[in-house]
Amino acid sequence: MSVLNDPFIDRLERARSGAKRLATATTASKDAALEAIAVGIEQAIPGIVAANAEDLRRGRENGLDAGLLDRLLLDETRLRGLAAAVREVIALPDPVGQVVRGSTLANGIRISQVRVPFGVIGAIYEARPNVTVDIAALSLKSGNGVVLRGGSAAESSNAVLVDVIQRAVTSVGLDGDAVQTIDEFGREGASRLMRARGYVDVLIPRGSAGLISTVVQESTVPVIETGAGIVHVFVDASADEEMAAAIVRNAKTHRPSVCNAAETLLVHRDAAERLLPRLAADLIAAGVTLNGDEAARGFSEEILPAGEAEWSTEHLALVMGVRVVDSLDEALAHIERYSTRHTESIVTQDYANAERFLAEVDSAAVMVNASTRFTDGGEFGFGAEVGISTQKLHARGPMGLPELTSTKWLVRGSGQIR
């Protein structure tokens, strides 16, 4: 099939052309589009729920487990929540046009670096139709078109949602084509999206470590990794007992299924006798299964033996590894070896150790005396949850709307030459 008649390429070209109009749209018109999307979702609840029922039925037939079916489910409450989330994006500042820096050169040329949209964002995620709306809203506000690949499990829900979004965007005089879904092109569509240089400016995978790894390996389009979190809490020799207990419990149990939840507890040998029995008892009382090394198990009979795989496992559940280390150096070496560079926290009263930990741990967020759960765009005051980048290029840590933009240099002269 020639490129001219290729329906997949046609989809990408529509996104590109819709994005071009969006790139120079005013904040007021983009906000109007978002409000129209929120209203559109509320008005289309019966239709969306019906389409979602098809996905759920197919999911049950295909033997999806209860957790996946729950992630797939859209009911009236969740849809009203989604509409509310879209309205929250309206309240965020528009990053487009922000001047990052600028100066006047000696020859009188004025240069300024301003934020501009990427162009078209590709989003690859799995069976979460709410992400369709989230990513579309964040892309629109930042002036970007978006090509959505939400996976076949949510295909019917995504189709209706994208239709609602396209109509809403068009209704305010912008180009609804800026938002596209490629679910019906299946796995081949996902593969082609990863190689769609020239059509898509950046790919953002959201989902399992396996999905993200596939995208990173296969993609020729630049990728922003929003990665897995093997997150460590290190309880230093001088740690305060109550503070350590509160931080460890919160980091592990507050919301165990998310990437900033702690997976491994490291305890300094000099604090183990004083603190480990209490920390272990608290965690176990909160329903956590502990897998520990031999030294840790010496302080609590309820800690199960840990295999080597424990230290590189992201449980995302009420399971935690526990290890006793001889020193700050040993803790740093363990983190260096096993961390996914998301978030690590030290609990300590020792100033020098706190500063060494902050300086030497190479993670997106490095904390002293705080729960790892604070690595979050909302907590950091960014107001939107684009994801948490675990890569070092472009964005690292919680991403706000500015991280969905690039910049360009505007150069205003009066005839200067070199």
Per CB under 8 A, residues contacting a copy of itself are 23-24, 103, 105, 109, 111, 113, 116, 118-119, 197, 201-202, 216-217, 220, 222-224, 240, 242-243, 246-247, 249-251, 254, 345, 354, 358-360, 362-371, 373-375, 379-381, 391-394, 396-398, 406-418
Give whichever of 163 and 263 is closer to a copy of itself, judged by the CB atom. Answer: 263
DSSP 204-227: EEES-HHHHHHHHHH--S-B--B-
Minimal distance, residue 412 CB to a copy of itself, in Å: 5
Which ranges in 24-128 belong to alpha helices (H)?
A: 27-43, 45-61, 66-72, 76-91
SS3 189: helix
> Distance between CA atoms of 172 and 336, rounded to whole angstroms?
51
Give whichever of 43 and 406 is closer to a copy of itself, judged by the CB atom. Answer: 406
Minimal distance, residue 312 CB to a copy of itself, in Å: 13
Planar angle of CA 192, 194, 200, nearest 5 degrees: 95
Amino acid residing at 378: G
Give whichever of 133 and 279 is closer to a copy of itself, judged by the CB atom. Answer: 279
SS3 314: coil
Minimal distance, residue 139 CB to a copy of itself, in Å: 14
Minimal distance, residue 358 CB to a copy of itself, in Å: 5
Give whichever of 161 and 223 is closer to a copy of itself, judged by the CB atom. Answer: 223
> Distance between CA atoms of 219 and 217, rounded to whole angstroms?
6
Residue among 227, 239, 226, 251 nearest 357 (CA): 239
Give whichever of 46 and 415 is closer to a copy of itself, judged by the CB atom. Answer: 415
Minimal distance, residue 213 CB to a copy of itself, in Å: 10
> Distance between CA atoms of 84 and 34, rounded to whole angstroms?
11
Minimal distance, residue 258 CB to a copy of itself, in Å: 11
Give whichever of 112 and 170 is closer to a copy of itself, judged by the CB atom. Answer: 112
